[in-house]
Structure 1
């Protein structure tokens, strides 16, 4: 059997129903093709609750708390600093997938968002990529625009941490050298190399804020969202049920918004007509970003067809977390006021929204439309934060199941990708040491036995998987999930859900299932000990049963 090429495509902050194959009205024919032309849609695939933790798990096959991103570097707390697993970059306790595949003869290429280390020794070129063109921080202006800050003005921390910082191989690129025609999605695609036996990592920074897209793409969605986010949520949820991607009995969780009073957090029917126009315009731009990304993915597929490599290339498409509904809206609560700065240095007039000198996001109401029926969104351990769209296409592995049904409901995680690709490459994890460092074992499970019908499940009913980020906790075993969401977004206690009966995590059944909750919290304690979660009592590693 020929060893396949690998193409891993990651979208940034894309919600569960934001592409056509997952019920969206956004035009994504190229992504949809991956699902319908011999591919599989996974409906129960889980990432971490935010960008860099997911990326560390993808490239390591293990938990983010082991791989160095126990907390996002931008949000590292004092009690976490200096602790193993909280280095803020992909650390040396793991054997990166790119390096291991290099060892087995693969050419390794990366283009797009990195977010796994800013120092030169942590750039992609030092972590196993033969060639790379990368945005190092977690976000940046998609047109490379940076306003001139007046002397004496302090730039908000969120903008300081997201500069226009691109590198190609071992050379930094000044923003002015990106060129006048620069747009992140287009450049990311143009710099992607697909040559020889390859592992290619195509990591778009779209549709992450700031929401910006070419006008022609945005124009395709003028007026589409004028009925507001609840209308969109109901429309998408109906389509998800029609496609068999969520059960007919699924009831959506209501929107939970930051208690800041900001316009983008408010219910649609409380907005003025002008506010509605602004709000719907942000969603139009978001849709334009997704459409543009799909077009660029189409370019990559065409290149693989041209070289005859399409059917011998395993292609996977995923998002790194749920839709982004909170960060900017909540910043006045956690990091000072960004709004005055944006008003001074950017033009967010209605007709300019989406251009390079605008700076907008779309807030929790629209995010909830993307994650429905799930609860909450990016940053949370509830399903809205960690369940993401996932498509796998490799006819040698997926064709049979795709003919039966191109929808796969088995529980899977981002950690599973590493061992799956290694098995198909005829490679193996190096064991306890790698390049002079002790390394952790892989926690994910290869999908090959399941997809070839040698196993009935990827993860059996007794396998427990944990999540922790920003003090929001969860552990899952089979259909059961225990979740701890602190106030004001949750009840500040452990809850228990049956995800088969209640995919929206609406009904806490812990009172009637105390033994099951205790079982899952015992699993949680094991998870904390195994991966090294560092937290503050009493929430972490203790049985909070009331």
Structure 2
């Protein structure tokens, strides 16, 4: 038998010979042998830690070092020791910015060109990170970094935030060793609807009275860093700290709100003027910079503060007090993280970027509300914001606390975006120009307190991090060749105020609004829904002399407009931007057939964890449905039979004093239906909900053993994300559907023999079902 040089029979198959050779290596004597270990990534010697702190919906002027009256000493200290970028740009929406920032590719090219609550079936709107882009976490992990994330992810489909959905676009599958936070776009800061630790959903029955989401994720981030440095002090880390603040709903601890009492009684017009004055003193904007006029476009308009009633001024000022308090909690979080890094001796070699994911949000519309989801109802044509205001005035002191989910009116978003025009979603400057502060004590010397005016985009962070960490980039991911980077390192400008710009041009697109920047010129549109996309809607601004976009020069420079419009078109094709959102609603309505599985009947038994939000929603959303409760009742049995939703919207049923009650909550407005006594023995309780035309309202009827016990007609149907939480059986976890019941009994777990509760979805409401898709497509092609 012939043997090879290693003493392995040559006639063995190649795979067997390789295994035999390995066995031989580990079975021979250790003396003189050479060990074999697979190669592993190793960070460069002295490589810095990297911390990216991303706020949600924070406006350009909302922190002290960018002109705010809000006291932010920790962020201001970061700026005093590092540099501020006054020309830093993101996309006009949260999910796309997060995709661009993490991947270094434009958001559509990364697969997420819109907020990740859609899946219309186009590559640029896949609502999950594409297979042919890498994240900075993936690359740094391959280069020997520990990688951590806390806070808001919002980079995967609704249907995948389920126990059986794909996890391929979840944090751990996209490069993070550890994750703690929320998967959705927003949450109740006092009662998060669904927390995730790594790949696992957490559903606590209740939260402590002093719980606050920003404090929680700060604790987790500090714990991750401490553990990593205890395990391997030489291993650098990457921490992506993605705040849920200051996105609506606006919640803050009472003592923080109280610090701002009375600070906003002068109104948004005066606050804007004062912020601009500070910005000029600080050097954020040039002396003589013109404040953009008060937003006046129909649907985006803001009244003069002096035109408001006294009651409006009182309530609107309260909203901004809560927002300011929320900004301050972000600053406190940074201070706590810094103290930890200083204690560990890691601060000097930590690169920190603090920024926001888009401009301030106008989603509170003209009047704001203490229940954010009133605004969603208003969008669907079923809202009464005047009535909501009267409720907010009556419950003034609760605004911002655990029983409210507020958002401020768009006048305050205008003030937050000082000195720019318009808001989040718009491709004008107010939508995508954000504050940015960079600190790295060991790597940036002699630059303390300096300002940088070079144009920088979110896609530039990825290559910058690669340069400062000396990490090798990937060219394939799981065997798939990668899209080229869109960003360019801005490290040169960090150390040199006169360094040339590396990011010379950039396209923007959001819900039909378009924009293109090149070498100081920018074209932009404010596209009206359900109108044709027309080159005649382009506006042109010379940002070198008019950064606040007050002088439209399109008529004076048609050749520049034509050139930039052609560049936008080319960039749109290269980055899979098409089809454009023409405003028909098709983008949010069209879903893949595979999601039909989430509308199948489900039988839940006691002990089942909270059914996830999206699966629960599909059982009832804009359709009729039936809920069957099976139990053996004995006198004295009591508690919640089922609960779907939370304080912002939902419905539930419970038994107390041997009597059955149905609760229906819409944006905090409660309807209760007394359904009479239950007799001992096996019982079947049925909730029959009939969706009315349009799916905005529902008639409900309750039966016990076939006998009707009561009905309520024309109730508002809880809408979409308004039902933050999914379905609970035998308990009402987290935020309650009914505060009255919660105050008396807490989570009120059922004591008795509850066998199961079954949801059976019915027909879609007339005018709200799949048959509307054809009509929406027809509308869309009219304006394409």
Measured against the shorter chain, the TM-score band is 0.7 to 0.9
Match of 1:503 in 2: 547
1:222-371 paired onto structure 2 within 5 Å: 222-256=261-295, 259=298, 266-326=303-363, 331=376, 334-338=379-383, 349-371=395-417
2:537 to 488, 493, 506: 493
Q: TM-score scaled by structure 1?
A: 0.87
Match of 1:407 in 2: 451
Q: Deviations over 1:371-422 (max 9, x none)?
A: 12111011111110100000000124432333xx511111101111101111
SS of 1:395 mapped into structure 2:
coil
Q: TM-score scaled by structure 2?
A: 0.62
2:75 is aligned with 1:61: no
1:86 to 113, 117, 125: 125
2:560 is aligned with 1:533: no
d(CA) in 1 for partners of 2:298, 2:213: 33
1:3 to 47, 61, 86: 47
d(CA) in 2 for partners of 1:123, 1:311: 31
d(CA) in 2 for partners of 1:15, 1:343: 26
Does the aligned pair in 2 maintain the 1:372–1:504 contact within 8 Å? no
1:476 CA drift (Å): 0.3
The runs of 5 or more residues in structure 1 that have no matched partner are 146-163, 540-546
1:365-380 paired onto structure 2 within 5 Å: 365-380=411-426
Match of 2:80 in 1: 36
Match of 2:765 in 1: none
Match of 1:388 in 2: 434
Does the aligned pair in 2 maintain the 1:258–1:326 contact within 8 Å? no
d(CA) in 2 for partners of 1:18, 1:378: 14
Match of 2:178 in 1: 131
d(CA) in 2 for partners of 1:289, 1:27: 11
d(CA) in 2 for partners of 1:136, 1:503: 36
Match of 2:484 in 1: 441
d(CA) in 1 for partners of 2:383, 2:333: 32
2:499 to 438, 456, 464: 456
Q: Deviations over 1:242-265 (max 9, x none)?
A: 11111122212223368569xx95
Distance 1:453 1:530, change over 3 A: same
Match of 1:154 in 2: none
Match of 1:190 in 2: 219
Does the aligned pair in 1 maintain the 2:118–2:127 contact within 8 Å? no
1:174 CA drift (Å): 1.4
SS of 1:389 mapped into structure 2:
strand
d(CA) in 2 for partners of 1:281, 1:311: 39
Distance 1:439 1:339, change over 3 A: farther
Match of 2:242 in 1: 203
The runs of 5 or more residues in structure 2 that have no matched partner are 1-44, 161-165, 230-235, 367-374, 584-784
Of 60-69 and 323-332, the range deviating more from structure 2: 323-332
Does the aligned pair in 2 maintain the 1:144–1:175 contact within 8 Å? no
d(CA) in 1 for partners of 2:561, 2:518: 11
Match of 1:152 in 2: none
Distance 1:363 1:131, change over 3 A: same
2:509 is aligned with 1:468: yes
Match of 2:194 in 1: 165
Does the aligned pair in 1 maintain the 2:151–2:243 contact within 8 Å? yes
SS of 1:384 mapped into structure 2:
helix
1:178 CA drift (Å): 4.6
d(CA) in 2 for partners of 1:21, 1:489: 41
How many equivalent residue pairs?
508
2:134 is aligned with 1:95: yes
| Higher RCO, 1 vs 2 (CA within 8 Å, ≥6 residues apart) | 1
| C-alpha RMSD of the superposition | 2.6
d(CA) in 2 for partners of 1:166, 1:339: 32
Match of 2:620 in 1: none
Match of 2:38 in 1: none
Q: Which has the higher helix share?
A: 1
Does the aligned pair in 1 maintain the 2:451–2:497 contact within 8 Å? no
Larger radius of gyration: 2
Match of 1:421 in 2: 465
